[in-house]
Amino acid sequence: MLDVAAPLFVSDVLMTADGCDRLVSSAAWSCGWRGGAASTSAVAPQHRRPVLGVIEEAAREATTSRWPELASPNGWHPSELYMLRYHHGDHQGWHHDRHESHPHIGDRLASITLSVVVMLSDPSRYAGGRLEVRTDAGPAAAPVDRGTVVVFPSSTEHRVTEVLAGERCSLVAFLSPNP
């Protein structure tokens, strides 16, 4: 585990470059995501199981080593699982992934505990588009290496800075504890 900043956990579990490419190539992108700042796609059914395995392992690592108070003895289920694609000029402002920040979705996000982001794009193919979390010392950026899995509590304020060139794709999961 790489200790980037207290609010971030970077997992030792990685998604392979081939796995990232398969996800992106299978996407059925639609325009406009909640803020209109990116395109979105569901994860194709044939890719859900392997993706969930990576995400659940990263969540176990994060709660075991960083946030034991958030551990879920019965595992996790995704409240949401989708991909985001950012082009030149796209970004997301400061927000958190708890229910209050998305009131139009209803109770579906009320119980989320962890947010997971998997970097799907080769960082040499885009500029900008950094995932940052707010800390007392200022914004802390997550690593951008393709296949990197980043976990943070869903109450953590974060943003994606403006993409200056190219295309940035990521997989996003909101996890809730299994009962």
CATH of the domain at 18: 2.60.120.620
Domain count, the chain: 1
> What's the pLDDT at 34?
52
Mean local confidence (pLDDT), 169-177? 91
Q: How buried is residue 138: exposed, middle or buried, by Cβ count under 10 Å (0-12/13-18/19+)?
A: exposed
pLDDT band at 99 (very low <50, low <70, confident <90, very high): low
pLDDT at position 2: 36
Query: Residue 1 domain-assigned?
Result: no
Q: Phi, psi at residue 95, to the nearest 5°?
A: -165, 170
Residue 4 lies in a domain: no
Element (H or E) spanning 24, and its range? helix 17-25
pLDDT at 157 over 50: yes
- Using pLDDT thresholds of 50, 70 and 90, give the confidence band for residue 176: confident
Contact 94, 158 (CB under 8 A): yes
3 part of a folded domain: no
Range of the domain at 154: 9-26+36-69+77-177
Q: How far apart are alpha carbons 128 and 89 in whole angstroms?
A: 9
Q: Read off the DSSP letter of residue 22.
A: H
Query: Which H or E run contains 52?
Result: helix 45-65
Average pLDDT over residues 95-101: 68
In a domain, 94, yes or no: yes
Residue 124 lies in a domain: yes
Through-space distance between the first and last CA atoms of the chain, rounded to whole angstroms: 28
Which range (8-17, 35-44, 91-100, 107-116) has the least confidence? 107-116
Does residue 69 or residue 102 have the better pLDDT? 69
Q: Is residue 122 part of a domain?
A: yes
**Does residue 2 form part of some domain?**
no
pLDDT band (50, 70, 90) for residue 140:
very high
Provide CB contacts within 8 A for 178, sequence distance 6+: 72, 74, 75, 76, 77
| pLDDT tens figures, 32-84 | 555 546 788 888 888 898 899 999 999 999 999 998 888 888 888 888 888 99
Query: Are the beta carbons of 169 and 160 closer than 8 angstroms?
Result: no
Confidence of residue 20 (pLDDT cuts 50, 70, 90): very high
